Amino acid sequence: MTQIKKLGIGAVAAALFALMAMATMVNTADAAGPVASADIDCGAAIQVSSTATYTCAIEFDDATPFAAAATVNGVQVTVTTTLGTFVENNQNSITFVCGQLFQADSCDTTGTPITVALNTGTTSGTNTVLVTAGGIAATAQKTLQSAATTAGAPAAITGSFIAGATSHIAPDNASASPAYVSPNDTSTVTFRVVDAAATPVGVNNRLIQLSTSAGRIAAVGACDNTSGTTVALLTNTVSGVAGRVQADVCGAAASQVGVATVTARDLQGTNVSGSVEVTLAGPAASVTTTVSGGQVVVNVVDSEGRPVADGTGVALTIASTVGSAAPAVTTTTNGSATFAVALTGTAGNGIVSVGDGATGTPLALTGATRVNQSISLTQSTTPPPAEGDGAFASAPNFGTGNVGSAVFNGGSIADLADATADAGGTGVWVQGTDGNWYRYTVGATGATAFVNNAFNAQFEDGFAGATAVFVVK
């Protein structure tokens, strides 16, 4: 019996040893190693408010060589924030131990992150969230924007008119009756939809119907003679401002000149609307001219006295027996066009013609001819004081010959001589107030300087504004 007991005890001991070894192997396989890395992601930017919250996802990885490892339980984790507070404790830091979480019961390393919730607070800026665990640290940055993300219901729509070179738009409708084609001018109108907060907040993603009482309207860059009088667009953030919607207004039939009222209305049931006015100029109806010192200024207006759109074509025609005009065709700026005129005598007549535009090289009128008006031209006997930049408006046009026409912008005789030399000319012809033409020879000095005496006497006061000249190579 004693021998059997001893054998029994030995067998039992061996069995217990084997079981302990097996248990140790199982525990080693299931237990995770120390934290090897951490990762935190707090998502995209958010706008601050007293009620806004967001979450940061945290993932850990351990250092165990066993694939079955699933937790880093027992590791103390600290998360801090530089802006806002944690929802759990309303503080700017929070500490917990993996396996004893307030939100989960382990720090999983198998791809399922834990999350911590934060209040944005009301201070905007770049928030840095730091997580530390087992000697490992990771950070995430979260942009907290100043405008509230969740605006209230729309309470108002405000509008503004963004003017271009002028505050006018010419009709643009090639198929309308009466037909009229303008230089495709447009005006951009901007509306903003805001809520009823004490400090109004722009409301994005609202569907707004924009309509115009005259002309046409479409999305920015899309307004033409096929556009309608209404367009529906969503509000969005434009130039950093939330709640904006923009559209282009362009002209329509010539009968629709005057003030166009552009109205914006919320289509999502809030009964909110706003309006802004845009002036639409009509086709040319009449001109007035000012003739002074070899310069003719033509002012063009529509039937209601508004300056026509920039780019309206204007031509000044003078019979060769009377003189010449430079340029022959130009376009308006703020309703005005300027010509330099040289007469063969002291007086004569010219014809001012106005179309819908001007294209080509050289420029030629396009569209219908709206005005044909005779004007009286008289050579001034007292030249005004010299002024101008002392240069040619553009290089002389010599063509295939040795004489080229040009417009001198005004200045002294010395300025004209320098401009002529810079253009490759040896001389220049200019018509005087007596109707005669005078030549200036560049570089005539010393014994030859006398050749310019007559020119110097005629133009001793220089040239005021645009002056037609002929440059000789």
pLDDT for 358-371, tens place per residue?
Answer: 888 888 888 778 88
CATH of domain 286-378: 2.60.40
Report in angstroms the alpha-carbon separations of 245 from 97, 158, 205, 235, 376.
51, 10, 10, 5, 51
Strand-pair category, 273-280 with 168-169:
parallel
Q: What is the pLDDT of residue 226?
A: 80
Least confident range of 86-100, 104-118, 192-206, 333-347:
104-118
Q: What angle do CA 356, 302, 327 make, to 5 degrees?
A: 45
Tell me the average pLDDT of the chain.
Answer: 74
Q: What is the pLDDT of residue 421?
A: 93
pLDDT at 185 over 80: no
Q: What is the pLDDT of residue 460?
A: 86
Least confident range of 71-75, 183-187, 194-198, 430-434:
183-187
Alpha-carbon gap, residue 377 to 428, rounded angstroms: 23
Please count the other Cβ atoms lying within 10 Å of the Cβ belonging to residue 319.
12
The number of helix segments (H) and strand segments (E) in the chain equals 3, 33
CATH of domain 154-280: 2.60.40.10
Q: What is the pLDDT of residue 369?
A: 84
Both tokens of residue 11? 């067998």
Report in angstroms the alpha-carbon separations of 258 from 9, 57, 411.
115, 60, 41
Q: What is the pLDDT of residue 390?
A: 85
pLDDT for 418-461, tens place per residue?
Answer: 999 999 999 999 988 777 889 999 988 888 888 899 999 888 88
Strand residues in 183-240 grouped as ranges (E): 186-195, 207-212, 216-218, 230-234, 236-238
Report the candidate in 290, 109, 250 with the shortest Cα–Cα distance to residue 168.
Answer: 250
Per-residue pLDDT band for 171 (boundaries 50, 70, 90) equals very low
- In degrees and rounded to multiples of 5, residue 229 shows phi and psi of -100, 0
Mean pLDDT value across residues 368-382: 78
Share of the chain above pLDDT 90, in %: 10
pLDDT for 258-276, tens place per residue?
Answer: 677 888 888 876 667 778 7
Alpha carbon of residue 212 to chain centroid: 23
Alpha-carbon gap, residue 472 to 452, rounded angstroms: 15
Mean pLDDT value across residues 322-326: 86
Dump the DSSP string for 269-337. Answer: S---EEEEEEEE--S--EEEEEEETTEEEEEEE-TTSPBPPTT-EEEEE--TTTEEEESSEEE-BTTEE
Report in angstroms the alpha-carbon separations of 343 from 60, 275, 430, 431, 467.
92, 53, 10, 7, 11
The position carrying tokens 């209404």 is 230
CATH of domain 35-145: 2.60.40.10
Alpha-carbon gap, residue 141 to 128, rounded angstroms: 5
Q: What is the pLDDT of residue 31?
A: 42
Alpha-carbon gap, residue 467 to 391, rounded angstroms: 11
Q: Which residues contact 465 (CB under 8 A, 6 or more apart)?
A: 293, 294, 295, 340, 384, 387, 388, 409, 410
The position carrying tokens 């090289």 is 361
Report the candidate in 339, 434, 429, 459 with the shortest Cα–Cα distance to residue 380.
Answer: 434
Per-residue pLDDT band for 417 (boundaries 50, 70, 90) equals very high
Backbone dihedral region of 310: left (phi > 0), alpha (psi from -120 to 50 degrees) or beta? beta
Q: What is the pTM of this model?
A: 0.41
Per-residue pLDDT band for 345 (boundaries 50, 70, 90) equals confident
Beta bridge partners of 249: 187, 217
Residue 280 · residue 169 · CB < 8 Å: yes
